Amino acid sequence: MRTYFTNLLKQSTFLILIIVLGSSFKHASKFFAGNYNYYVSPGGDVNGDGYADVLMSVFTSEFGVSKDGKVYLNYGTGSGLTQSPVWTGICTQESANFGEAIANAGDVNADGYADIIIGAPRFSNGEDNEGAVFVYYGSPDGLKKEHSWKAEGNQANAFFGNSVASAGDVNKDGKVKKSEFGIPEDTVVIGTVGRLAEAKGQRYLLEALAVLKDKFPRIRLLIAGDGPLRKELEDYAETLGIKQNVFFLGMRRDIPELLSVMDIFVLPSLWEGLPNALLEAMAGSRSIIVADIPSFREIIDSKDVGILIPPGDSAALAEALRLLLEDSNIREAMGRNAKQRCSLLFDIKAVVRAYTGLFESILKGKENAIH
C-alpha cells in the first residue's frame, strides 16, 4: 500500500526516511512548497534485477508549469535504495496533479518486469478535471520514458485517477502473481498448499527440487501455509542450496490466485484427508502430483489425471517432476483431464444425482423391509 505523509511542512522542504536492510535512505525535495513524497509506493521490480524499487511523487510542485507534478523511481540494490532517482515521470499540463496517486501495476504485459500506474486526477483534455491514468512498462533498462497506456475520465470533474492500484489477476492467467514474486512469465512454477507439519511431507518436495536444480535452474517453488516446521524447512532449503528457488509464503487468503501461477501442483503428504486445495488445483487445470495415499488415490484414478508417487520418496517425486518439467504438452493434457475428473466427481449436478440415488436406495430399502 502507498504511504501517506501528512503535509506538516507546507511552504518548506519535505523529507522521506526509509530504512532498508538496516541502512538509511534519505531524500529531500529542492522545490518550494513541493509536498515531496506526499505519496510513496512499492514500485515492484521494474528492471528485473531481483530487488524491489520504490516510487515517490511530488504532485503539486512546479516544474515550468504550475502544479504539473512529478514522479520519481529509486532502484533497490544489495546495499539499499539508490540515493538519487533513476527515473522521473513528468506531466507538462498545468494543475494536472500528476502523481497524486501512484502504485505498482503488476506485470500487465507479462514480460517479467513490474510496471507502474500513475494518476493525474486534475488532468484536462476537453473536459475540466476529467482526470487521467498512465501506465509505464518496466524493462531490463528500467521504466520506459513515455507512458505505454493511458485512459481519461472524459467527464468534467470526474477526477479519474484520484486513486490507482493493481487489480490483481482479473482473468486468472497467473501473469500478475508471477510478476509480484519477480518470476519471469516463461518460468515453470511448482506449488503446494498446506500446513507446514510432518504429515504434509514438504521436506521431500524440497529434496526433489534439490535433485532437479542443476538441470532446471530457473524453476521456482511456492509453498503456501504456515506451521511448526516453517523455520526447519527454511533452514533445510538453504542447506540444500535451493533457497533462491523457494518462496515460503506463509498464510495466504489468495489461494485461487496462487494456484493460477502454479504449473504443477504437488501434495507430498504422508497421511491426509481430502484437502480443498487439491480440488481447486484440479478445477484450475493444474497438472497434479500427489502421494499414493487412500484419500488421493480415490480422486486421482489414472495417470492421465495425475501422478501418484510413494509417500516419503523424494527420488520418485523428482522423477515425476522431471517428466512434467520437460514436456509442457503432458502438463497441459494432464491439467485438462484433472479438470474433467473434478467436474465429474464434484459438479453440482453430479452431487445432486449422487444424493438422489442415495435417498432413493434408502427409501427402496425401507419399502422392501415393510413388504
Residue 18 — pLDDT band, cuts 50, 70, 90?
Answer: very low
Instruction: Give the three cell numbers for residue 340.
Output: 474433467
- Strands in the chain per DSSP E: 3-4, 15-20, 23-28, 39-44, 53-58, 70-74, 76-77, 80-81, 87-90, 101-106, 115-120, 132-136, 149-152, 189-193, 220-224, 246-250, 264-267, 287-291, 307-309
| Cβ partners under 8 Å of residue 46, min gap 6 | 53, 73, 87, 113, 114, 115, 116, 138, 139, 142, 143
Q: Report the amino acid identity of residue 154.
A: N
pLDDT digits (tens, 9 = 90+) for 223-254: 999 999 999 999 999 999 999 999 999 998 88
- Angstrom CA distances, 271 to 133, 197, 260, stand at 51, 11, 26
Asked if residue 133 lies in contact with residue 151, where contact means CB atoms within 8 angstroms, the answer is yes
When pLDDT is averaged across residues 59-78 and rounded to a whole number, the result is: 76
Residue 111 — pLDDT band, cuts 50, 70, 90?
Answer: confident
* Phi-psi category of residue 227: left, alpha or beta, with phi > 0 → left and psi -120 to 50 → alpha: left
Q: What distance in Å separates the CA atoms of residue 88 and residue 269, rounded to the nearest whole number?
A: 50
Asked if residue 100 lies in contact with residue 120, where contact means CB atoms within 8 angstroms, the answer is yes
Q: Which of 32-36, 46-50, 61-65 has the lowest mean pLDDT?
A: 32-36
Q: What distance in Å separates the CA atoms of residue 155 and residue 314, rounded to the nearest whole number?
A: 61
Q: What distance in Å separates the CA atoms of residue 33 and residue 72, rounded to the nearest whole number?
A: 17
Q: What distance in Å separates the CA atoms of residue 306 and residue 313, rounded to the nearest whole number?
A: 17
Query: Beta-carbon neighbour count of residue 62 at 10 Å?
Result: 16
Whether 8 shows a pLDDT value over 50: the answer reads no
Percentage with pLDDT > 90 across the chain = 54
Residue 214 — pLDDT band, cuts 50, 70, 90?
Answer: very high
Q: What distance in Å separates the CA atoms of residue 3 and residue 19, rounded to the nearest whole number?
A: 14
Residue 93's pLDDT is what? 87
Residue 120's φ and ψ, nearest 5 degrees, are -130, 80
